[in-house]
């Protein structure tokens, strides 16, 4: 077989396991079973009412291309969000609207790195970092983070690795742990001292249950910051996110965006602009997550899941299940088959230690979470 028929090695990325779990859960539902979804990092709530109304009002007008960087009024609204949340005075010209955070990762990694360069990422961490980097002929370098450091990397973990860049998420996925101002500053300053780019994934900002999350822009103007309307604003399927880049990088990213995406979806941008004003609705959703989190922290240990990372933000519980299994993939399948609860095996997030971990999402309704916990407790009692 010749090389051309085999295709590019860039396409040889690992599957996103949680999507496979979702498909198995869908098949079970199609067969008539009721499945409790704790696998997917997706709010169970609809987009804000104001966003839906804004879209409905716009349907009679042409929804064509926008400028590649996004609607100017949306970029200004996002900049105002930084003033409201963090007290950061952000120039809207540095804000680039993207097709979800995934579009932002593609743009950032393409703009920042040449083929073959090495980008560090904490493990456990969001699996698509690795796969997007590989698809761009970059080398992901997993940095195992310790329980003592709340499953977040620290500068000492990075020493000895020859890195050309670093990406860090706070709150983290799957752990939900957050970096303090001091801890995030240490990482930003480490990258600056090495002269390498720092990418801050802040997609779960707004979803905190104690102290708020810290944006890297409170520390320096150098980091590339990525966020999205998917999580706090409950707009996963609308595919609209954003990135904040240094002023001298805007034009480079604009050229890439023009050619790779033309523009983000016009309809979603209009909805996102309206969503920025739907604060009471978003805060009501966060209160539901807080209650779901309480139920999880109370109920999972009673089911036998006792070794849990401290979930400061997002809507996940990451549990060490090494006392229960050495194969989280099979364990997750057993839980789905016997308990009717879909959970995510840790292999998605940590190729080295993920066979001994599970992620539980509490993004659905409180009734679903309560039922799921009851099912897990019954299943574990019979196991």
Please write the tens of the pLDDT for every residue from 335-362. 999 999 999 999 989 999 999 999 999 9
- Could you say which residues of the chain have pLDDT below 50? 1
**In terms of Cα–Cα distance, which of 349, 353, 369, 354 is closest to 173?**
349
pLDDT, position 19:
82
- Rounded CA-CA distance 364/236 in Å is 13
Rg of the chain over all Cα atoms, to the nearest angstrom: 21
Q: Supply 288's token pair.
A: 């539901």
pLDDT, position 199:
98
Q: Contact at 8 Å (CB) between 365 and 334?
A: no
- Rounded CA-CA distance 101/189 in Å is 24
3-state secondary structure of 218: helix
Give ranges for CATH 3.40.640.10 in the chain: 3-46+280-382, 49-277
- Rounded CA-CA distance 140/118 in Å is 6
- Rounded CA-CA distance 36/70 in Å is 37
pLDDT, position 3:
55
Q: Supply 32's token pair.
A: 């008539």
pTM summary value: 0.94
Helices (DSSP H) in 11-96: which residue ranges? 17-30, 49-58, 72-86
Specify the residue for token string 């920042």.
Answer: 112
Q: Tell me which fold the domain 3-46+280-382 belongs to.
A: 3.40.640
Top CATH class, 49-277: alpha beta
pLDDT, position 4:
56
pLDDT, position 348:
87
Sign of the torsion formed by the C-alpha atoms of 342, 41, 265 and 274: positive
Q: Given the DSSP bridges, would you call strands 307-308 and 241-244 parallel, antiparallel or unpaired? A: unpaired
- Rounded CA-CA distance 66/273 in Å is 14
- Rounded CA-CA distance 299/24 in Å is 25
83 burial (CB, 10 Å; 0-12 / 13-18 / 19+) is: exposed
Q: Contact at 8 Å (CB) between 282 and 48?
A: yes
């Amino acid at each position: 077989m010749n090389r051309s028929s085999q295709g590019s090695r860039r396409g040889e990325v690992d599957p996103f396991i949680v999507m496979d779990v979702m498909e198995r859960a869908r098949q079970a539902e199609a067969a008539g079973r009721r499945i409790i979804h704790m696998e997917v990092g997706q709010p169970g709530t609809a987009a804000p009412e104001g966003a839906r109304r804004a879209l409905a009002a716009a349907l009679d007008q042409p929804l064509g291309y926008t400028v590649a960087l996004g609607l100017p009024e949306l970029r200004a609204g996002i900049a105002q969000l930084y003033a409201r949340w963090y007290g950061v005075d952000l120039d809207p010209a540095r804000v680039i609207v993207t097709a979800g955070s995934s579009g932002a990762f593609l743009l950032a990694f393409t703009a920042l790195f040449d083929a073959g360069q090495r980008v560090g990422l904490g493990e456990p961490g969001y699996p698509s970092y690795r796969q997007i980097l590989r698809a761009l002929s970059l080398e992901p370098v997993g940095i195992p983070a310790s329980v003592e450091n709340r499953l977040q990397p620290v500068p000492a973990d990075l020493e000895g690795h020859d890195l050309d860049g670093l990406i860090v998420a706070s709150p983290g996925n799957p752990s939900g742990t957050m970096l303090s101002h001091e801890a995030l500053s240490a990482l930003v300053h480490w990258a600056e001292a090495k002269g390498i780019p720092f990418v801050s994934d802040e997609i779960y900002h707004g979803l905190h249950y104690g102290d708020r999350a810290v944006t890297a822009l409170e520390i320096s103007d150098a980091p590339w910051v990525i966020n999205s309307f998917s999580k706090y604003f409950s707009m996963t399927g609308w595919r609209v996110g954003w990135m904040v880049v240094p002023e001298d990088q805007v034009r480079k990213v604009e050229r890439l965006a023009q050619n790779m995406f033309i523009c983000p979806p016009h309809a979603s941008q209009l909805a996102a602009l309206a969503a920025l004003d739907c604060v009471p609705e978003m805060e009501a959703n966060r209160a539901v997550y807080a209650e779901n989190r309480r139920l999880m922290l109370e109920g999972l240990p009673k089911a036998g899941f006792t070794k849990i990372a401290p979930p400061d933000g997002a809507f996940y519980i990451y549990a060490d299940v090494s006392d229960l299994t050495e194969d989280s993939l099979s364990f997750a399948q057993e839980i789905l088959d016997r308990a009717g609860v879909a959970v995510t095996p840790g292999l998605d997030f940590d190729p080295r230690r993920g066979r001994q971990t599970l992620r539980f999402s509490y993004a659905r309704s409180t009734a679903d979470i309560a039922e799921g916990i009851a099912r897990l407790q019954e299943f574990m009692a019979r196991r």
